[in-house]
Amino acid sequence: MTVNYPNGKKFIRYDQEKKPAEKKRINHAYSNRGMTLEEDLNETNEYYRERKLAVIHKKPTPIQIVQVDYPKRSAAVIKEAYFKLASTTDYNGVYQGKYIDFEAKETQNSTSFPLKNFHQHQISHMEEVLNQGGICFVIIRFTRLEEVYLLEAKHLLFFWERMVTGGRKSITKEEIEQAGHHIPLGFRPRIDYIKILDKLNL
């Protein structure tokens, strides 16, 4: 199936890209290393659901189907599709009767987090969730450092407004450390963000 971005460029999954054949050394002490933030969060959310702690799901990415083939009457094959406008945030659900809504972002930068990773419609959505009394935040991973932080949306909105009014276009790691909350990486759950929410008593 061919999937294209709105600008016409083809979407290529990471695992479909051509890579040189090489033997990978497995470090069993870090068996979870290499997993994306999304994979870690999906695993964490599954852990929460299994233990009836919370029901949090990843929102599906909306696509526009433009070409479908029917090789058999009982089967349809999507041949071409496009990503629609990006959805609001990555995850939402319920925890102890409270609505949870959050975005997950990764960066290779070790000293700051670029705000260009967010879009205005996501910021507006987070603000609307907060205005309705929902719990809204972003989980940020500094990939090279293997460090993960929970940053409440109210702080993200402050940094976004700072950028819009002519300030810096990123959040320094020091600012994230001060305004956010470090989430130690574990085994199961991998990224226990609910423990942070409990401490914040949101």
pTM: 0.73
pLDDT tens digit sequence for 54-101: 999 997 665 656 677 777 766 777 666 555 555 678 899 999 999 999
Contacts of 113-120 with CB under 8 Å at 24 or more apart are 113/140, 113/142, 113/170, 113/171, 113/173, 113/176, 114/169, 114/170, 115/159, 115/160, 115/163, 115/169, 115/170, 115/171, 116/169, 118/156, 118/160, 119/86
Residue bearing the bigger pLDDT, 104 or 8: 104
Give 201's pLDDT tier (boundaries 50, 70, 90).
confident
The residue-averaged pLDDT of 173-193 equals 96
Chain length of the chain: 202
Whether the pLDDT of residue 113 is over 90: the answer is: yes
SS3 124: helix
Mean pLDDT value of segment 121-136 = 96
Cα(37)–Cα(69) distance, integer angstroms: 34
pLDDT for the residue numbered 59: 76
Q: How far is CA 172 from CA 96, 102, 168, in A?
A: 33, 20, 9
Q: How far is CA 84 from CA 5, 38, 74, 121, 154, in A?
A: 8, 20, 27, 14, 28
- Comparing 22-26, 95-99, 109-113, the range with the smallest average pLDDT is 22-26
Which of the residue ranges 27-31, 142-146, 147-151 would you say has the lowest mean pLDDT?
27-31
Backbone angles phi, psi at 149, to 5 degrees: -130, 145
**pLDDT-based confidence at 27, cuts 50/70/90?**
very low
In the structure encoding, which two tokens stand for residue 117, read together? 């990773």
Who has greater pLDDT, 26 or 148? 148
Task: Label residue 9 by pLDDT band (50, 70, 90).
Answer: low
Instruction: Look up residue 29 and give its DSSP letter.
Output: G
Cβ neighbours of residue 72 closer than 8 Å, sequence gap 6 or more: none
Domains of the chain: 37-60+86-200 (3.40.1350.10)
Q: What is the pLDDT of residue 88?
A: 79
- Residue 135's pLDDT is 97
Average pLDDT over residues 138-162: 97
Mean pLDDT of 10-16: 51
Written as one string, the DSSP assignment of 154-178 is HHHHHHHHHHHTT--SEEEHHHHHH
pLDDT at 64: 58
80: its two tokens = 């071409």
